Amino acid sequence: MPLLTGFPDFSLHALVIVLVALLIVTPGCLERTSSITPSSPAATAETAPVRAEYSPGEIPALGAAAETRANASLNAIAALPPGERTFDATIVAFDTAMTDYTDAIFPMTLMGYVYPDHQVADEGMALEASSAVFLNDVYTRRGLYDALKGQVPRTPAESRFYNLTIRKFEKNGLNLPDDRLEKVRQMNDRLSGLTSRYSANLNNDNTTVTFSEADLAGVPESSLATFEKIPGGYRVTMKNPDYVAVMKYASSSATRKAMYLAYFNRQADENTALLEEAIAIRRNLSAELGYATWADYRIDGRMAGNATNVMAFLDAIKEPLQEKTRAENAELLLLKQELDPTATTLDPWDISYLQNIRMIRTYSYDENEVKEYFPVDTTLQGIFQIYGELFGIRITEVTGADVWSPDVSLYRVTNESDGATIGYLYLDLYPREGKYGHFATFPVINGRMKDGAWSVPVTAIVGNFPAPTDNRPGLLTPGDIETLFHESGHAMHNLLTTVPYGTVSGFNAEWDFVETPSQTLQEWTYDPDVLTSLSGHYANTSQKIPPSLRDRVIAARDVGSGYYYSTQLAKTLEDMEFHMADSTPDTQAVYARLYNEMTGLSLPEEIHQPASFSHLMGEYDAGYYGYLWSKVYALEIADTFTRDGMTNRTTGMRFRQEILAQGNIRDGGVLMENFLGREPGTGAFYRRLGIEGVAGAGNTS
């Protein structure tokens, strides 16, 4: 699944971020294995680095063909006589077979999240489910494991590559007797089916709420223009732009409550059951594999080491964040009482609305004014120019590209020094019926060495930014810009890799390190020079954001930060509690309790937040802590740029070479020490959270 933003939501493919080797189908492959021909015969590698058009029935056939080819390669490795089992003939050949497979299917599983034809999209989701079962089978093949085990690496990089490969087999039960191994395989297969159904349900969700014009008083005309007009009012979807507009601007508490309840009850019945069954299977699976809890199983081998370390990290920030949020809530309640003298408490659907009013009053600006200076295309080009300056690259749009929808664009990434193509980036940025409803970066092809040449990576950013209307382009708020930096940071991580092995290149990094590049680059949003460079009024792009308005944007950055980080911590603790419990929890009750503990607010009983917390069914199970954990590293890197300059080429190239290029071929801690010249500290992290009284909060290291 993709790498999500938290900005954070994902699945097998979305591992947006991202754990397994990624794949795609080329026209040549199709011609060799199927009578099906590419949709655009005249397409070149530049205009169609991956296939973007499918007819119903093609994806199942192509997926089956990819599995047949992979099985042939894997069986050949397992059948090698002991005397022929060299490192290249086994470990490297295994990586080639697995990445060939993912390169063949990931373009098609991506279609499950984005393709306009519902039948094709359903086939893409079905392929994601069947490919997960296939991969479960691969990593429980004893004959294959025996052929790989015991090879002698020749370099430190090969040693890590070998250990990661063998470890994945062993964490799938290869140390168990055959009867228990089969039990593990069956549980993993069931889990794969549950997670795919959960994701498909959310992708296909079409929940809407109907409001009258009076209900939507306060919502800007620019947002109303994007809602579906119906007799007497509007039909509003749960897509991000619609949800944010109502929650931030609707003056009616009843309207905001209706929207909040609809949003957090998407797929309530079915997805809650799917998640709770998955939690039970995970608990049984971890016990079968010899771990105390699923959290211990998942975190073993990651930077955090074990669940105890994670909980210590989270516990250290819990009370300071609660205090910060209580102080914010006291201010918001006073503001609410100005508007409604009968009010005695805050409700969850008040927060965005009141924070926006507070921001306007305190900093004298409205985001509706600010976003006029940040049309999507202008902002995007500004980000690409910054990346060009930092990383020595050029990002140019490919004209006439084959894409799955007319609002999708394709960009070619080249080295500034020699013009060599180093990757391709698809952008699918606007809401569409049946499309994945959040923000994520999908690996499509992983960079690697193949047949003696470099195979360039391909990545797709899928988003739901405000769409253009008849009289104005899509416009971005500062939060939207931060999200765009975040997702494009994931993309840079995947596109700038130099690791020769597909299963450990790009953002196939440790799960509690993978958010480091994305959370680093989102810090660029609030640099004054950067913000000015990105701006250009939609009616006259030469008109930059006025310095006084820009400075107020930056000053207002931390409005509501206590509530934001408290809700992040509540979701992190929710994930950990689900996966450390000794019985299947009442997921709805657990989240309601933790949300109340962290924010001081009470949720209505009918809220089913776990039913749409897609990270928990998209590879972030017992891993959501990674957003906060990797934030420590991200802010250390960002501090280095603050010191050296946010567009400093020397520091940017070090970041490219020491972090972005390295994939998982080195431990994340080693990468950080190499870049910083020291071990990372927590001082910058605690300063960003705005909390005191925590060990390390005053440190500069």
Kindly list the distances between the CA atom of residue 694 and the CA atoms of 6, 634, 686, in Å, as whole numbers in the listed order: 24, 19, 8
Q: Is the dihedral of CA 214, 245, 366, 384 positive or negative?
A: negative
Gyration radius of the chain over CA positions: 25
Cα–Cα nearest to 66, from 27, 23, 35, 95? 23
pLDDT confidence of residue 693: 59
> Can you tell me the distance from the alpha carbon of 675 to that of 277, in angstroms, rounded to the nearest whole number?
43
> Can you tell me the distance from the alpha carbon of 416 to that of 237, in angstroms, rounded to the nearest whole number?
43
Active site (annotated) includes residue 487: yes
Assign 459 to helix, strand or coil: strand
Q: CB under 8 Å to 472, separation ≥6 — which residues? A: 222, 375, 538
pLDDT confidence of residue 3: 53
Task: State the DSSP H helix or E strand holding residue 458, giving kind and residue range, or none if neither.
Answer: strand 458-462
Q: Which residue has the tokens 């899928």?
A: 462
Give pLDDT < 70 ranges for the chain: 1-44, 693-701
Q: What angle do CA 333, 338, 343 make, to 5 degrees?
A: 55
pLDDT confidence of residue 343: 96
pLDDT confidence of residue 639: 97
Per-residue tokens: 240: 């991000």
> Can you tell me the distance from the alpha carbon of 159 to that of 151, in angstroms, rounded to the nearest whole number?
10
In one-letter notation, the amino acid at residue 400 is: G
pLDDT confidence of residue 18: 35
Contact 617, 278 (CB under 8 A): yes
Which one from 67, 158, 367, 487 is the annotated catalytic residue? 487
Assign 232 to helix, strand or coil: coil
The predicted model scores a pTM of: 0.90
